[in-house]
Amino acid sequence: MDLKSFWAPHMGAVSLTFDDGRPSQLQKAIPAMDKRGIKGSFYLSMKKETWEKDLLPWKEVALAGHEIGNHSLSHLCSNNLIGRRGGLDDVTLPEIETDILAAQERLVQIAPHQSQWTYAYTCYETFVGRGVSRQSYVPVIAKHFLSGRGGGEYGIANHPGRVDLACTHGLATDRMSGFEMIGLVEALAAQGQWVILVFHDIDGSRLTVGHYEFNLLLDYLHRRSGEVWTAPVAQVAAKIAGYQAAHP
């Protein structure tokens, strides 16, 4: 694969992704991004009782050109992570599929213009069950979504010719400095990679990046827009999917 030709006129790509639909994303991340013309992917989780109210402010976000993504209805994680039963260990493939599709029915109402949808695995975990009954639900995501975002080793990105779009590599940015995020993007994009950065809160108490650090990254991406393509996950995934379909 000729990576230079694939990305031209850019050398690589980066997607800024945000999980859980947290207030700081609306208050701090999106205004800073819109100021610089940078669009991201926002993976929303919903409370079953208040989902209509929770989703309301995200309609404007979708209309402004940001991607709305699926982060499931129940946001299940492993029992080991949550310290009790009732997590991914205790559900089946049909149950997780039902949960994700229920969330999708609600999300479509706030972004009906979106033709492609992507998913972010909750807590980066891609399984249901435990022990000998443990199964991957990546095939469920591959059936319903253009792409699914997982996680993994520090400093690893996605090669467009080899990445499994149903389980791409997302890079957690928690507590990173602006210079560290910039360095990762610069190094990996220069290799022709697709870098997917994962954010939760901006200036929050945990799983957070400082507002100043986040703005350093945005300023860099704005300055380097001619060399590094910054786009929502669905846009980059669609380009990669087209290439992979033509080069099986």
Map out the domains of the chain as residue ranges. Answer: 3-246
What pLDDT, on a 0 to 100 scale, did the predictor assign at position 224?
A: 96
Average pLDDT over residues 26-48: 93
pLDDT surpasses 90 at 236: yes
Asked whether 70 and 110 are in contact (CB, 8 A), the reply is no
Asked whether 14 and 194 are in contact (CB, 8 A), the reply is yes
pLDDT surpasses 90 at 174: yes
The gap between the terminal CA atoms of the chain, to the nearest Å, is: 12
pLDDT tens digits for 198-222? 999 999 888 999 999 999 999 999 9
Give burial (CB, 10 Å; 0-12/13-18/19+) of 67. buried
**Band of pLDDT at residue 186, cut at 50, 70 and 90:** very high
pLDDT surpasses 80 at 82: no
Q: Span 3-246: which CATH code? A: 3.20.20.370
pLDDT tens digits for 100-156? 999 999 999 999 999 999 999 999 999 999 999 999 999 999 999 999 999 988 999
What pLDDT, on a 0 to 100 scale, did the predictor assign at position 36?
A: 97
Task: Identify each DSSP E strand in 56-204 by its residue range.
Answer: 67-70, 118-120, 127-128, 135-136, 147-149, 171-172, 194-199, 201-202
What pLDDT, on a 0 to 100 scale, did the predictor assign at position 162?
A: 96
Structure tokens at 72: 């499931």
**Band of pLDDT at residue 68, cut at 50, 70 and 90:** very high
What pLDDT, on a 0 to 100 scale, did the predictor assign at position 123?
A: 94
Bridge partners (DSSP) of residue 127 are 136
Asked whether 200 and 43 are in contact (CB, 8 A), the reply is no
**Band of pLDDT at residue 248, cut at 50, 70 and 90:** confident
pLDDT surpasses 90 at 46: no
As a dihedral over the C-alpha atoms of residue 15, residue 17, residue 23, residue 29, rounded to 10 degrees, the angle is: -20
What pLDDT, on a 0 to 100 scale, did the predictor assign at position 80?
A: 80
**Eight-state DSSP code of residue 177:** -
Distance CA 148, CA 27 (A): 26
Percent of residues, the chain, with pLDDT higher than 70: 99
Which residue has better confidence, 57 or 50? 57
What pLDDT, on a 0 to 100 scale, did the predictor assign at position 223?
A: 97
Ramachandran assignment for 187, one of left (phi > 0), alpha (psi -120 to 50 degrees), beta (any other): alpha
